Amino acid sequence: MSRFTNLSFNVPVALLQTPNDSSRWFVVQQDGIVRQFSGTNPTSASTFIDISDRVRDGGEMGLLGMAFHPDFPTDNRVFLSYTQGNPLVSRISAFASSDGGATLDPATESVVLTINQPEQNHNGGNIAFGPDGYLYIGMGDGGSGGDPHGERGNGQRLTTMLGKMLRIDVSNPAQYAIPPTNPYAGNAPCPPGGRTSGECPEIYAYGFRNPWRWSFDRDNGDLWAGDVGQGVWEEVDLVTLGGNYGWRCREGAHDFNTGGTPGCTTGTLIDPVAEYNHTLGISITGGYVYRGAQNTSLLGRYLFGDFNSGRIWAWLAESAPQPREPTQLIDTELNISSFGQGNDGELYVVDYGGTLQRIDFDSVAGAGTAPRQLSETGCVSSTDPKQPASGLIPYAVNAPFWSDGAEKDRWIALPEGQGISIGVDGDWSFPSGTVLMKNFRIGTQLVETRLFMRHPDGAWGGFSYEWNAEQTQATLLEGGATRDLGGGRSWIFPSEGQCLDCHTEAAGRSLGLETAQLNRSFTYPQTNRSANELTTLNHIGVLTPAIADASTQPSMPDPYGATGTLSERARAYLHTNCSQCHRPGSATPTNLDFRYTTSLIATNACDAVPQAGDLGLGSNARVIAPGSSANSLVVNRMNRRDSSAMPPLASLTPDTAGVTLISQWIDSLSSCQ
């Protein structure tokens, strides 16, 4: 990192620019003053607004957040989040500029939202406009572990705005409105102190302890939040509409107070993406997904820090030392109160001691490069990247994974002189240096090429390449994104970390490459001849142990094919689409086992009462309810695309044929035998 300016500030807690002006910077001070300066070597800073006369500061109170209206200064409002008074309240107010955006006039305050605060800590306070144009507000749970209406239950209590991520529409200066897609949009606005019954319609997501700094990924709109922990765990959450992030039932991914908190046994709790314990830091500060111009492999990765320890991490799932453990980039002596993001995507660190720092990736661990063009990877023809390089082995599987209706072509690239090891369970493992390549096509158009590589140290990593409209080249896309393909269709490009979320260690990372999946006839494009894949791979000498006779090996049916019973085809579908997470040894907090070789009773799903909420199905809900697909959570989750959906990521469209298949199978069951 490098010092951004030589200026110093008093207890700074935020750094930002206006949406349409990169010439000025604004520093939010906890004492109630916003300072501004221009350029990178300013000699002084001026006051943008001073509301210290109405701000109650100290500890976790004060001026805590600021958000420019997206059309500023055409719309001359700027929103401030601060604590005020005794008794204490959190206030969201709009202030207007009367000089073309040069300053804000403290006399123009228009109070938008007031929330009573029972204690002086856990005030949250960050605010920002989302890509949907709505104002998002992060609120802590009210503080004080001994207060039954504070930490003990407010995160789960839907009758209060404390412990929540809120979302409101401020397009009308006279009165905020509730966005129609908010989970409880039909209810009347919540009073400052909450209510005794009826959910607050301002709620976007809930189950937070104190979301101290959160941000939107400017490329795909993802909402990332750092939620401060209690005694052991700090967490990073990927926040979605209607999601419940667990506090105070859980701290991070760990049970905390399930018996004493309302809602712990009835709702679906979303575990954090990443977490660290208090040996590494004790107060998380949320950051940003890097979208700047520096040449670094950290492009598209989420960076965050810790206020007390000064450490800065990135979330790199493929490099996680332990499940959910982030990768440390640098250990500083700063008290990191916030991160800032310039309009150019570059990132900055706000030191509570008064300084501002710029993140330079050539000075932190994790920086590096990858081939930017698919044609440079060696996996495809350098002159026609639509064609695989010589030596790649094409293959197909009996039961393919649902990929929002895309057609897929697959190849294996093995290092010279090395082969594939077949486990006793029929799963295949690959030597270091292996690359698995997959093309995704919508109709005749290539959309994405994914490379899944086993690195020299044995770790696997995923890379996504996005095809251009001319179909002449695909470019590395780091950090994931969602693209509009036209015709009302969108496509999710998973991040590198999401690749490993699906390609789990428990499943051996290389999904689909199993004896039962490749025991099938395949027409090889080089020769246009058909042959059994196992026979072909054995013939070229890459299987260990050898498979002399494919007819003696198990074969998984095509879920939509003419062979196999309804039960066999349904179980094949669940194996491909669910068992990478739902199997022994997985990090998923269930005991479900959807592998094809598992008996129905051994799935632990048949007639099983759901442990994470019934999703509105009522008391008859079961994970699999024999004879009733309508009461089966498996079907319900398959048929939705929200925080309760399965698969939980990388899909925007339910597999209607898969839903029909699994529904028919469940309806045909008379028992679990």
Q: What is the pLDDT of residue 84?
A: 97
Q: What is the pLDDT of residue 498?
A: 73
Q: Which residue has the higher pLDDT, 455 or 192?
A: 192
Q: How far apart are alpha carbons 145 and 319 in whole angstroms?
A: 35
Q: How far apart are alpha carbons 616 and 644 in whole angstroms?
A: 11
Torsions phi, psi of 76, nearest 5? Answer: -85, 20
Q: What is the pLDDT of residue 321?
A: 73
Q: What is the pLDDT of residue 147?
A: 44
Q: What is the pLDDT of residue 369?
A: 53
- Whether residue 259 has pLDDT greater than 90: no
Q: pLDDT per residue over 540-571, tens digit each?
A: 999 999 999 999 999 999 999 999 999 999 99
Q: What is the pLDDT of residue 650?
A: 84
Query: What does the pLDDT average to over 486-496?
Result: 87
Distance of CA 218 to the CA centre of its chain: 14
Query: What does the pLDDT average to over 349-370?
Result: 78
- Whether residue 253 has pLDDT greater than 70: yes
- Whether residue 365 has pLDDT greater than 60: no
- Kindly report the length of the chain: 673
Give the number of other Cβ atoms within 10 Å of residue 58's Cβ.
12
Query: What does the pLDDT average to over 494-512?
Result: 84
Summary mean pLDDT of the chain: 92
Q: What is the pLDDT of residue 279?
A: 84
Q: pLDDT per residue over 461-481, tens digit each?
A: 889 999 999 999 999 987 678
Q: What is the pLDDT of residue 367?
A: 43
Mean pLDDT lowest among 48-52, 263-267, 279-283, 363-367: 363-367
Give the number of other Cβ atoms within 10 Å of residue 544's Cβ.
14
Structure tokens at 131: 């890509």
Q: pLDDT per residue over 103-128, tens digit each?
A: 999 999 999 999 999 988 899 999 99
Is the backbone of residue 366 left (phi > 0), alpha (psi -120 to 50) or beta? left
- Whether residue 597 has pLDDT greater than 80: yes
What is the residue whose two structure tokens read 């989040």?
81
Q: How far apart are alpha carbons 78 and 103 in whole angstroms?
A: 10
Query: What does the pLDDT average to over 51-77?
Result: 96
Q: pLDDT per residue over 180-193, tens digit each?
A: 999 999 999 999 99
- Whether residue 143 has pLDDT greater than 70: yes
- Whether residue 145 has pLDDT greater than 70: no
Work out the pLDDT band at 40, boundaries 50, 70, 90.
Answer: confident
Cα-based distances in Å from 213 to 102, 140, 227, 349, 475: 26, 11, 8, 12, 32
Considering only CA atoms, give the Rg of the chain: 27
- Whether residue 149 has pLDDT greater than 50: no
Q: Write out 308-372 in H/E/C secondary structure.
A: CCCEEEECCHHHCCCCCCCEEEEECCCCEEEEEECCCCCEEEEECCCCEEECCHHHCCCCCCCCC
Give the number of other Cβ atoms within 10 Å of residue 217's Cβ.
21
Query: What does the pLDDT average to over 51-73?
Result: 96
Q: What is the pLDDT of residue 148?
A: 41
Work out the pLDDT band at 41, boundaries 50, 70, 90.
Answer: confident
Work out the pLDDT band at 363, boundaries 50, 70, 90.
Answer: low
Q: pLDDT per residue over 615-631, tens digit each?
A: 889 999 999 999 999 99
Give the number of other Cβ atoms within 10 Å of residue 391's Cβ.
11
Q: What is the pLDDT of residue 146?
A: 40
Structure tokens at 267: 């709702």
Q: How far apart are alpha carbons 255 and 250 in whole angstroms?
A: 4
In this structure, are residues 462 and 650 in contact, taking their beta carbons and an 8 Å threshold?
Answer: no
Structure tokens at 376: 């440079």
Work out the pLDDT band at 266, boundaries 50, 70, 90.
Answer: low
Q: How far apart are alpha carbons 105 and 36 in whole angstroms?
A: 15
What is the residue whose two structure tokens read 């099983």?
608
Quote the percentage of the chain above a pLDDT of 70. Answer: 96
Query: What does the pLDDT average to over 379-386?
Result: 94
- Whether residue 144 has pLDDT greater than 80: no
Q: What is the pLDDT of residue 368?
A: 46
Query: What does the pLDDT average to over 73-99?
Result: 97
Query: Helix, strand, coil shares of the chain as percentages rounded to 5?
Result: 10, 30, 60
